[in-house]
Amino acid sequence: MRDTFVKPSTTLLWTLKQEKKTPDWFEAKITELEPVISAKRVALLEYKRDPSEKTLAALRKAKSDTQKTAGYCANKYWLNLCSSIQLSTDCGTVRGMYVGLKVAFGRCMVKTAPLTSESGNIIINCRKQMERWAEYYKQLYSHENVVTNVAIKGIPPLPAMDELDNPHSPDELTEVIDNLVSSKTPGGDAIPPGIIKAGKNTVLLDHLYQLLLQCWEEDPVPQGMSDTNITMLYQNKGGHGDCNN
């Protein structure tokens, strides 16, 4: 299923991303800027062909018109962008506000800091850093919690819910797919949630349901469904190189 959807979907999404790329103020206002830029180019060529007071004055006027138009277009572009950000803020549309701010400030610079080993030595090599992360998480999740019989006996018994043993229905899977957030980053299978939602009304739903039903009845789950991506976020306290932070 992964290979069936990832390759064509990646090509389609990349094309849509290129088409929907928000241009900067110059590209957005090119229809208004192009006439004055062309006029300045013609005036410059005319001045080079026949240097005189008349052609020089025409060139200066063309430059002045270009600067005024560029300033007007840039100001209009930024005012419209600020208005859209403010409107998204007032309406509570967090995604629209974030997209507007991203257009205004550009892509965020990713800053990384070298990790430190358990002994405090700085690790600069990328492969060694990945080994350090693997070592850290292996130690973090290797700890087993021991529950004593006394604690188990102290838990009051609850009635068994036999209905939980029943396999899920296609309607439940449909409801889960409808609740997926399209803007979320895809997992290890590289299938964006939007693709799953878009293919819900096609043969995808039946195939996906049969796969999940097989996992439910036979117990084994494909490794791709068990893999997890871990993202490290700095807590703004302590050293950057400490994995605990």
Render pLDDT for 26-70 as a digit per residue (tens, 0 to 9): 888 888 889 999 999 999 999 999 899 999 999 999 999 999 999
**Domain assignment of residue 3, yes or no:** no
Please state, in angstroms and rounded to a whole number, the distance separating the CA atoms of residues 116 and 129: 8
**What pLDDT shows up at residue 6?**
58
222 in the same domain as 245: yes
pLDDT at 22 over 50: no
Domain-ending residue, one of 63, 79, 105: 105
Domain shared by 126 and 82, yes or no:
no
Q: Which residues pair with 122 in a beta bridge?
A: 116
User: Which pLDDT band holds residue 154 (cuts at 50, 70, 90)?
Assistant: confident
Q: Determine the Cα–Cα distance for residues 86 and 78; give it in Å rounded to an integer.
A: 12
Q: Does residue 9 belong to any structural domain of this protein?
A: no
Which pTM was predicted? 0.44
**Whether residue 175 is found in the same domain as residue 244:** yes
Residue 11: per-residue pLDDT: 63
Dihedral sign for Cα 235, 237, 239, 244, please: negative
d(CA 189, CA 9): 12
Same domain, 88 and 27: yes
pLDDT at 80 exceeding the cut of 80: yes
In a domain, 172, yes or no: yes
The range of the structural domain enclosing residue 45 comes to 21-105
Both 100 and 44 in one domain: the answer is: yes
For residues 91 and 31, state if they share a domain: yes
pLDDT tops 50 at residue 165: yes
pLDDT at 16 (0 to 100): 52
